[in-house]
Amino acid sequence: MGVAQHLKAPTKGELLLCLACSAYVVYYVLVVVRKPRVVCRTGHVRRFLCVQMEGFVKGYFRTPVWCIGANLQRLVGCLYHVVKKVRQRYPHECLLGVGVSLGGLLVSLYLCQRGRQAQLDAALAVSPPFQPAMAARALANPWGFNRLLNACITRGLVGRLRDNEDVVRASYFQFFSTFLFFMRVIITHNMVSAQRVIRADDVFRCWTLASFDRHYAAPAFGFQSVQDFYENCSLKGKLCMVQRPLVFLVSEDDSLNPETALPEDEVLKSPWLGAVVTPRGGHMGFVDGWLLPRQPFYAERFVVAFAVGLRKVCKARGVRVLHTLGN
């Protein structure tokens, strides 16, 4: 009896399953499995990325496609005091700053504001929203997953405020926000019509990030408008002031960073900056693996490799070499 007599024709369901699996494998190989782009000027920072982190910038990045504020200037001031305290406690150690999403934006703004006076020796920003105005517009897109993500982020922020509703409605909190607004008007000599008082009911009804920023974030910390808030918190046009090694890890499908959000021209002009742009990863996701992704994911391994690489450089040449890496 031949082998062919024991073989049965596949059912319709089995055939469709095989076709679906084959299509997924083809899609995975052609679309998902692609090398990250390294956006960096030729120099010490690029050499560091290519030598110390070769497996991340040259190897393939595998990830499924479905990876899943307040006044930043004030928070940057808080970050300044925290970094200062840590530096006083460890004056001779390499101090690395790592920020994710909003934290990445804060670390980047800190380096922009402090320049050569920054007490961080190096920094890594994962999925920072480079231009908050562009991020808000991208999330407001009525089509696709961004709309749902926008609502989830906003309701999470509103929930935090609702937990402290008595503080939001307190009269002294309203007075403080109004005082900050008038102080900003006096300093800038620019009086515009803006909402100076926080109306808690309007804040609790917010379902989009733009409305939350308009009703709470901007007036709470004295900004004249939500546009003024976005401009002050944007990294565009400020990265040239960075004087410490700063590396960005971003993905091309980040919901908060459209294609034009990353200021590649500024990154390429500065010897202190570098960016690794992965084809997939979403916003803070970077989940990799075929069907059963397991931690640690790409971003976590990237941070560890970055820290290990810095430690090797500092151990061989001293911490101060990082202050001249861009020269």
Which are the catalytic amino acids? 101, 254, 283
Among 295, 299, 291, 282, which Cα is nearest to 67's? 282
CA distance 147 to 154: 11
Are residues 107 and 81 in contact, defined by beta-carbon separation less than 8 angstroms?
no
CA-CA distance, 217 to 204, in Å (whole number)?
A: 13
Residue type, 216: Y
* Angle at 123 (CA atoms; ends 90, 109), nearest 5 degrees: 110
Which residues, 6 or more positions from 93, have their beta carbon under 8 angstroms from its beta carbon?
319
Contact by Cβ (8 Å): 107, 97: yes
SS3 state at 122: strand
**Which residue, among 139, 131, 85, has the nearest Cα to 108 in the 3D structure?**
131
Report the C-alpha gap between 250 and 36 in whole angstroms. 10
Tell me the one-letter amino acid at 183. Answer: M
In this structure, what token pair is assigned to residue 207? Answer: 């379902």
Q: What would the DSSP string read from start to end of 250-296?
A: EETT-TTS-TTTS-HHHHHH-TTEEEEEESS-TTTT---SSSS--SS
Instruction: Say if CB 217 and CB 69 are below 8 A apart.
Output: yes
